[in-house]
Chains A and B, each alone.
Chain A
Amino acid sequence: MSKRLLRGARVVDPANGRDGAFDVLIEGDRIARVGRDLPIDNETTVVDVPGGFVVCPGLIDMHVHLREPGQEHKETVATGTSAAVAGGFTAVACMPNTSPVNDNAGVTEYILKKAAEANLARVYPIGAVSRGQKGEQLADIAELRQAGCVAITDDGHPVATAMLMRRALEYAGMFNLPVIDHCEEQTLTADGVAHEGFHASALGLRGIPGEAESIMALRDIALAELTRGVVHIAHMSARQTLDAVRWGKSRGARVTCEVTPHHVILTDEMLGAPVAYDTNVKMNPPLREAADRDALLAGLADGSVDVIATDHAPHHYDEKQVEFDRAPFGITGLETAVSLCFDRLVHPGVVSLARLIELLSVNPARILNVKGGTLSEGAPADISILAPDMRVTVDAGRMRSKSKNTPFDGWTLRGGVAATIVGGRVVYTNEGVSLQM
């Protein structure tokens, strides 16, 4: 059995209350021991982790669009998981709005097969709530669960009606599956393409008010209470939505929520500058005002927000090189998340490193009910080695994702990924780092 000792790192493992200098011994695909001055034998590969680097439980991105089957020009499971491990993620949960939709075991198994072939990050498929994501009939949720799905969603769309959301919560609740909702009251969105506010008005872009999101979140929370089901609010963008989540939690509703890095960093001011009508600034939900961004930051700090997930939404260059209203919504996120989180959240003191690990690892694992989020002895050896002070310049052209639709190209950030280990195997090492794995 292969043995690898990670020595001399700062180990941050909030689930076990650890933050300090520890050695981590990996045997095979498991974490064998975490301690100090662990004994070595001549079968153990010793990795001397450079000072300042952090060893933590593998990061899990619970909102990723891998685009396979059906949209392989944008991304595949192979390229997406390659991007994931380069971004420090040991696992991703992938959305069902593929073509065909993942509303049956066949598609789920196909995705898992592709993930196994790529053999990089773990892939946890999320199945559809409704057949074809049409918002009418429930998908075969038990079958999806059996095939390996960890949650259900109609993401891309909201769960269409209150009736369907209720049924989904009741039914999925039997299997302890969370229902993830993309909260959007579509009659308020109408043909909106940007946040309804001064910037969209000045640029002549049809607006989407924050209430389009919060109204649905309130609906979902009320239904979660009614059904005792579990709801997770995807990609929160509006301060009103966060208020709704806090209200729900205070009443004991089983609700959790996530934010993307871009919604806590960028605002709708980007619509006009530096590049006016930049389609790499178009996503759903849209970038909102400073007040929304600041409210979400406060939510990260005070614990109201449970998860950071990227909503990695790759689109081919040609698809984005069109007029703003015609461009598809979405930006990539796997390969920029860690650097953005260090640079804009940890270093400025918005969240501690331990809290960041909760947001990116502990909580996603708990919500999806998958192994991970800890460096406990016996746990799978899914480990991220992060470099909080690494100087990174975002270079879209060199990203592993097939798609380059990111507004962060050229940004210089402090913080990055040194290496990624999945099941004891080193699946990624950053060549720019002196780390002999």
Chain B
Amino acid sequence: MKKDLLSISDLTTDEIHLVLDTTEAMREIGQRPIKKVPTLRGRTVVNLFYEPSTRTRTSFEIAEKRLSADTLNISVASSSVLKGETLSDTAKNIEAMSPDMIVLRHASSGAGHLLSRICRSRIINAGDGLHEHPTQALLDAFTIREHKKSIAGLKVTIVGDLLHSRVLRSNVLLLTKLGAEVWVSGPQTLVPAGIERMGVRVSTNIDLAVADADVIMMLRIQQERMHGAFIPSLREYFSVFGMTKARVERAKPDVIIMHPGPMNRGVEIASEVADGPYSVILEQVANGVAVRMAVLYLLAGGAEVD
């Protein structure tokens, strides 16, 4: 495997399958009374989060601790970053303490690439700007595989603010690599230029996009998008693109509904759909820990798991 996991394109198809298969073993650890294995004992992992995060940060932290790693959490609010230290200098300072891995979340696309050029530590991208969120796509793929056995040939529709979504980019790369038929849908103002070249079908007609879908993935739409005139209002967004029970019924009868979280109920997704029988949203969160354990383990060199 490559030194870092910055993008899904850093993984070959075989490596993706390896991560997903390893996740199953890791999940089993989470079901034991003593949820710990010594696999990463003595290794130091730094969680460097420049952006606030509930689920990703805690998910990584739990994963690291279950593998017995020593974890260090650095969040912007409480560090010298607020004093104006550059990412470059912060990285060099952390590197001087020889961590084995740095898990980075940052508001700028490519921040992990910059870090990777400076640090010898392995970098795991936990979300960089609008670019990618590889472990999210991996846990999404794991969740889909749990329900559908195989990803190849499935129709997966991703709906929402495509332009600003790192979850979209990672998922598109991963799902197309594994042979899914990927549709993306959202307001024209939020469709990234040239996205068809990533191998997806684009439609601003949500009813067409979700017809006979096996998987529907909703992306969050932020309030701020009304400034910059991307959408007129959240109300109108829900009316044109919101995932309602009626729209879900256009998909396959065994469709699964996904969302990376956090959700805006009543904006991109109706509450009854989020809490309904097709929703696997909470499973995604649960799978997140196991997937991240797998990634940490494999990036660290994949020693024996007891």
> Which residues 279-333 in A have Cβ within 8 Å of B in the complex?
318, 321-326
Interchain nearest-CB distance for B269 vs A (Å): 24
Chain B residues whose C-beta falls within 8 Å of the C-beta of A190 in the assembled complex: 228
Contact digits for B84-111, partner A, Cβ 8 Å, 1 yes 0 no: 0011100000000000000000101111
The answer to whether A323 and B130 touch across the interface, beta carbons within 8 angstroms, is no
Chain A residues whose C-beta falls within 8 Å of the C-beta of B111 in the assembled complex: 323
The answer to whether B109 and A205 touch across the interface, beta carbons within 8 angstroms, is yes
Which of A196, A201, A323 contacts B106, CB < 8 Å? A323
The answer to whether B194 and A201 touch across the interface, beta carbons within 8 angstroms, is yes
Chain B residues whose C-beta falls within 8 Å of the C-beta of A207 in the assembled complex: 193
The answer to whether B193 and A202 touch across the interface, beta carbons within 8 angstroms, is no
Chain B residues whose C-beta falls within 8 Å of the C-beta of A199 in the assembled complex: 194
Which of A201, A206, A318, A322 contacts B195, CB < 8 Å? A201
Chain A residues whose C-beta falls within 8 Å of the C-beta of B114 in the assembled complex: 277, 321-323
The answer to whether B113 and A276 touch across the interface, beta carbons within 8 angstroms, is yes
Chain B residues whose C-beta falls within 8 Å of the C-beta of A205 in the assembled complex: 109-110, 130-131
Chain B residues whose C-beta falls within 8 Å of the C-beta of A318 in the assembled complex: 86
Interchain nearest-CB distance for A230 vs B (Å): 35
CA gap between A209 and B198 in the complex, in Å? 19
Is the C-beta of B149 less than 8 angstroms from some C-beta in chain A? no
CA gap between A209 and B131 in the complex, in Å? 19
The answer to whether A324 and B108 touch across the interface, beta carbons within 8 angstroms, is yes
* Chain A interface, number of residues (Cβ within 8 angstroms): 23
> Which residues 68-92 in A have Cβ within 8 Å of B in the complex?
none
The answer to whether B109 and A203 touch across the interface, beta carbons within 8 angstroms, is yes
Q: Name B165's closest neighbour in chain A (CB-CB).
A: A204
Interchain nearest-CB distance for B34 vs A (Å): 40
Q: Name B129's closest neighbour in chain A (CB-CB).
A: A204
The answer to whether B193 and A200 touch across the interface, beta carbons within 8 angstroms, is yes
B interface, by DSSP: helix, strand, loop or mixed?
A: mixed
Q: Indicate the member of A196, A202, A209 with the most B CB atoms within 10 Å.
A: A202
Is the C-beta of A198 less than 8 angstroms from some C-beta in chain B? yes
Chain A residues whose C-beta falls within 8 Å of the C-beta of B88 in the assembled complex: 321-322
Is the C-beta of B83 less than 8 angstroms from some C-beta in chain A? no
Is the C-beta of A156 less than 8 angstroms from some C-beta in chain B? no
The answer to whether B192 and A201 touch across the interface, beta carbons within 8 angstroms, is yes
Is the C-beta of B132 less than 8 angstroms from some C-beta in chain A? yes
CA gap between A369 and B46 in the complex, in Å? 61
Is the C-beta of A197 less than 8 angstroms from some C-beta in chain B? yes
A204-B193 CB under 8 A given contacts A276-B110, A322-B87: no
12 A-B pairs besides A204-B132, A277-B109, A325-B109 with CB distance below 8 A are A200-B193, A202-B194, A204-B109, A204-B166, A204-B169, A205-B130, A205-B131, A277-B114, A321-B86, A322-B88, A323-B108, A324-B109
The 5 closest A-B pairs by CB, nearest first: A198-B194, A204-B131, A277-B110, A204-B130, A323-B108
Footprint of A on B, CB under 8 Å? 86-88, 106, 108-111, 113-114, 128-132, 166, 169, 192-195, 197-198, 228
Footprint of B on A, CB under 8 Å? 190, 196-207, 209, 276-277, 318, 321-326
